[in-house]
A and B are shown apart, each in its own frame.
Chain A
Amino acid sequence: MKHLFRALSAETLKLNRTLALALVFLTPFALAFLEVAIGFEYGRRMYRVGGDAWMTLISHTAMMWNLLLLPLFVTLEMGLLGALEHNNSTWKQLFALPLPRWSIYAAKQLLAMGLIGLSMLALAAMTIGAGLIGRVCLPELGFDAPIPFGMLLQNMLLSYLAAWLIISIHLWVSLRWSSFVLAMSVGIVPTVISAVTFGSDWSPFNPWALPGEVSNGLFEMQPYLGALLLGLLGGVVVACLGCWESSRRDVLH
């Protein structure tokens, strides 16, 4: 445990001045910005008179995020975390330190989960911000209703937990192999596939569609527990496999 905390504290220092850290806030900001732009441009069509403006905003944001942005963001973010070590050939230094290798891997895993969680918290805050801009600038849309914090946070939390599986998969791929192209392909191809096949029978078993499945189930009042558990437990299992594999492999670079 002592080793894990040490490694984690070193990991956070390495994030200084990195794109990986900036993206944690830039990505949700881009989406919130898009939502505001949509509100100004198409607000009257999208937010029907008498409808629940906040729920419309939250579910729209959630779908854009969970189906498209989150899988791509996880892909890029994990790729960057891997590149940080591969590009500077630091594995030979890290793994020659008197720390068990699993603790170094586990610290990366926790960092990765923390970063994605942070970006989703930021997204929640920025979604509220977007709605508040609507309340002030576009009073006819109905954002003067109370903010549904409960739904917003529940949606964020559940889709975040469902994303653990892709976080673990991508982290393992990008830490294990030095190719950035490989890391990107492993994310982009399934994300496109899952967006196209969303709603199909096997979509709830596609790791890259799980956050969307869970979020959609929540809003549409359909069962989502299976997808949630698959994402959550699958994430834990893959993370453990990653720890185990990292401590046996040859460090050649």
Chain B
Amino acid sequence: MEPWMIETRQLTRSFKDTRAVDGLSLQVPAGSVYGFLGPNGAGKTTTIRMLLGLIHPDGGEIRLFNRRLRDDPMGVLRRVGSLVESPSLYPHLTGRENLEVLRRMTGGSRSEISRVLKVVNLENAANRLVRNYSLGMRQRLGLAAAMFGQPELLILDEPTNGLDPAGIHEMRELICRLPAEGLTVFLSSHLLSEVEQMVTQIGIVQSGRLIFQGKPDELKARTRNQVIVATDRLEESQKLLVQQGWKAVHGQNHHLTVPVNGAADAALINTRLVQAGHQVYQLSMEHPSLEDIFLKLTEEQEKK
């Protein structure tokens, strides 16, 4: 059996009549950066709170480091660092004092404070009050707090949420360096594009259910290439192609998107359109981006 860092089996949790998490079975391999993705309200935060023992599942099992969380919560949590939604910081304390609070609670050395401050590049702001920190600095201090005490597993809920592009970039660089230090990272986001470059493993949830789990390449492999066509009469072109059995879609932009199996299909589409007297301005073939696949997948589930 693979040594999963996180494994859940049929995890379930409801709030009144909403099923926030519904039979979720996750497997997070050691050393991965696992992107836990889903639109707002999909159940990501609820799952993460359960992984950290903050709320209790209605059913199912949680295993971290191959141990059941409820058998030994202290032993398990000692090896986990977390950042859930907004960072938990005391604004009336300095950055260093915030970490000192953690150090006093968990034990550990003062040099560990300096180490994590250095990792997130906050050494120079360490003695300023957190009240005066920017959002990006707070997020980085939150990450420093999560990394305090050298955990083996980091659980981060929407670590890029609310950051400006520069902040997102900075966060991404920080997180990308972690697996090299032997950490496993489990992070959630509602935007695949924000985490696409750092994840090695993806899990997609929708309405509390897992609808995909695997490597980004496997997700890509599940979808076909598509042809982008622009013509002088888009509506008629679409009608024509649909009549001939193509799944032509007219999106927001001034072009049609048609899923195809290969270059021959693209040529065929071109011929048919030209034969019918349509003027083809543009025709190209591309593979849909992960973000497109992600959006399409979650939309499809929505309709069901």
A residues contacting B by CB (< 8 A) are: 6-7, 9-10, 13-14, 16-18, 84, 88-100, 250-252
Contacts and interface: CB of A to CB of B under 8 A. Distances in A.
Interface stretch (B98-106, B170-178, B218-226): B98-106
Q: Would you call the interface of chain A mostly helix, strand, loop, or mixed?
A: loop
A26 B225 CA distance: 72
A251 B92 CA distance: 23
Nearest to B131: A17
Contacts of B104: 6, 9-10, 13
B130 to A, nearest CB: 9
B100 A13 contact: yes
Interface in B89-114: 89-93, 97, 100-102, 104-107
A251 B74 contact: no
B86 interface: yes
A16 B93 contact: yes
A107 to B, nearest CB: 9
Interface stretch (B47-55, B193-201, B242-250): B47-55
Interface string B17-56: 0000000000000000000000000000000010011111
Contacts of A98: 74-75, 77-78, 106
Contacts of A97: 77, 102, 105-106
B88 A6 contact: no
A14 B49 contact: no
B82 interface: yes
4 closest cross-chain pairs (CB), A and B: A93-B88, A98-B78, A251-B54, A10-B104
B97 A13 contact: yes
A83 to B, nearest CB: 11
Given A6-B105, A14-B101, A252 B49 contact: yes
Nearest to A10: B104
A84 B54 CA distance: 19
Contacts of A17: 92-93
B132 to A, nearest CB: 13
Contacts of B85: 89, 92
B80 interface: yes
Contacts of A250: 54-56
B90 A99 contact: no
Size bracket, chain B contacts:
20 to 34
Contacts of B119: none
Interface string B161-175: 000000000000000
B52 A96 contact: yes
B145 interface: yes
A96 B52 CA distance: 6
A96 B55 contact: no
Contact of A6 (B80, B100, B106): B106
Contacts of B84: 92-93, 96
A95 B54 contact: yes
Contact of B53 (A7, A89, A94, A96): A96
30 contacts: A6-B105, A10-B101, A10-B102, A10-B105, A13-B93, A13-B101, A13-B104, A16-B93, A17-B93, A84-B90, A88-B88, A88-B89, A89-B88, A90-B88, A90-B90, A92-B52, A92-B54, A92-B82, A92-B84, A95-B54, A96-B53, A96-B80, A97-B77, A98-B74, A98-B78, A98-B106, A99-B74, A250-B54, A251-B49, A252-B54
Contact of B74 (A10, A94, A100): A100
Contacts of A91: 88
B231 to A, nearest CB: 53
B82 A96 contact: yes
Contacts of B100: 13
Contacts of A95: 53-54
A95 B104 CA distance: 15
A14 to B, nearest CB: 6
B41 to A, nearest CB: 15
A82 B82 CA distance: 22
Given A89-B85, A92-B85, 13 more contacts: A6-B106, A10-B105, A13-B97, A13-B104, A88-B91, A90-B89, A92-B52, A93-B82, A95-B54, A96-B82, A96-B84, A97-B102, A252-B54
A100 B97 CA distance: 22
Contact of A252 (B55, B80, B92): B55
